[in-house]
A and B are shown apart, each in its own frame.
Chain A
């Protein structure tokens, strides 16, 4: 999926979807599969906003048991659909919920809720809960604070959220949509009172153009009110900031629930090869473009887990992230009590601005259903006959089947750890990727921690709309491991530069920008060994003179000398 560059003709699109998070990418794919001519644009990379800061869960909505069983049923059903269309991408997350004597509900009530939830679990291939005594829970997870009255287990699905967005965008593209990242909406095209497209500017090249469309679908998450305002419509959200702490490995086998000082439920989630702790949920009034993580927020999370998992501070935090949820507006509620429901707004009916549809609220777990409902409205607004969705049965790219990892490793001479991660990311397309690759690059591990080979990196650089070095973290987790990019940022930038035809200076600037962006994720968590790593990281990059002070230079002028390309072969 290379970046689209072909010129647009007037009236080319039925709908331009603004925002390529999980909601927008899902809408684009659904609309394209139903025969609409679609253009998907985002001011950043795919899934770089709210989705990037999500907990990475496709859950069935246990908390809705208290409010509405039908919501739980629909959530579980949709979780099942997502598992069916992307079986390679989802992995089980098993929760261990310890119950202590001061728990406001107690083990009997919690188990009752899980017994109800068990009825819905089969929809998503979930398994029934298990009740454990205090001794059994401590034998399963010796890190729990003693003194519990018991525990219950249940499971949900975890997912690489950024990859899920990428697969939806690739699927949209394969169904005929155009996908444009780093494309910022600067204005709305009006025809009389109606919205008839958007004016955009490419943030990398600076090029401006108009994308004409019969309808604009505003899926811009926390940026959605701004786009609505551009069109003269009103969209009121109550944005909330959420912070997660990220560890470079699984520090437990089970997800663990904890209660924060204000009574909120937090989770420690072993997620693929990381651990995610969070999340906070605070009203946010600033610019979603500029988020940071405060030491207070880090402390709030650690304090909560210290009560159930006393050794939490012995584990090294790799980095932290923050994102803003586009929660639907509600007054007189605490942030955590706000509805996670979603709503599709037809601004033609609401504000007298025809041609603008907004989708807001919801959760990543509901993205497929949110997209389906949005496209149903789009069809109606466009005056098209109703066509049912197929996103619940049509596999996402690579989701057609899950190849046997041992066979893939054997067929292509890959070490098993490399084959396992490749299959987890590319599913049924892993073998084609390897078959098309230069044999010398199939086994050349470029990102040690993940691991990612040169062949995989080259494939995504060519086909998955990668425009910047940092995009590689979202596509294949390159630079996301223990080294935080120290070892792989340079060689990855060089591979990307080879594919994009970048100058040596541009490669250096990419690494420079990447380092700066990484640093912004870390000040609140840098301590101990991480502080030492930061010194090492900076020293390795700067002291070696590989990053020149990026003075303005003519394109093509090689003012920095990248290190020689030294692929590390996977093994003998």
Chain B
């Protein structure tokens, strides 16, 4: 099969990039290299995309067992906006947005009573502890979103 010219050019350029990479990486290894987790945190901590602990990972599957039956709300009275069923069904759905629940009165809801009546075994007290741990790490208010540079060239119009 004849190889496409653009692909051939790309492969040649990639080969050059690979050669440069091998040399650079060897030099970097001799110099000790950079801690990957530190570099990752520098890039993404502001988006609250951070590491999960083994404990987080072990507990997370149970959070998704909520079938939104609402039984827990009868057993555990709400505290302001914080209602037992909102913990699994709303507030913990996305960890990067967990900061929005940082001021809620987590101590004022009887999570154990809510969990006791849960038909699918959602561990509400454990989830509360999970939220506390994560808020210590990710509870900061986000910075303004990044946008690309204001002036970018426009690709050439079709047929011009």
A interface residue numbers (CB < 8 A to B): 65-70, 74, 77-78, 80-81, 83-84, 87-88, 91-92, 94, 108-109, 111-113, 115-116, 122-125, 127-128, 130-133, 136-137, 139-143, 153, 155, 247-254, 270, 272-274, 311, 314-316, 344, 369, 372-373, 376-377, 380, 386, 388-389, 392, 402, 405-406, 415-417, 419-420, 448-451, 481-484, 486-487, 529-530, 532-533, 536, 570-572
Contacts and interface: CB of A to CB of B under 8 A. Distances in A.
A56 B37 CA distance: 27
Given A116-B14, A372-B157, A249 B63 contact: yes
Contacts of A571: 78, 80-82
A133 B32 CA distance: 13
A249 B50 CA distance: 16
A77 B153 contact: yes
A113 B14 contact: yes
Contacts of B155: 74, 77-78, 369
Given A416-B101, A449-B90, A253 B61 contact: no
A56 B44 CA distance: 20
B2 interface: no
A344 B158 contact: yes
Interface string B48-62: 011111101100110
B69 interface: yes
B80 A572 contact: yes
B89 A449 contact: yes
A248 B64 contact: yes
8 contacts: A125-B147, A131-B36, A132-B36, A139-B51, A250-B93, A251-B61, A377-B159, A532-B120
A113 to B, nearest CB: 7
Interface string B78-105: 1011100110111111111101111100
Nearest to B70: A487
A377 B160 CA distance: 11
A402 B69 CA distance: 35
B27 interface: no
Contact of B22 (A108, A270, A449, A482): A108
B17 A448 contact: no
Top-7 shortest CB links A-B: A571-B81, A483-B68, A533-B67, A80-B148, A132-B36, A273-B93, A373-B158
B159 A314 contact: no
A65 B10 contact: yes
B90 A416 contact: no
Contacts of B13: 69, 116
A136 B38 CA distance: 10
A487 B67 CA distance: 11
B66 interface: yes
Given A131-B36, A250-B93, 11 more contacts: A77-B153, A87-B145, A91-B96, A116-B17, A136-B36, A155-B44, A377-B158, A386-B157, A389-B157, A419-B100, A449-B89
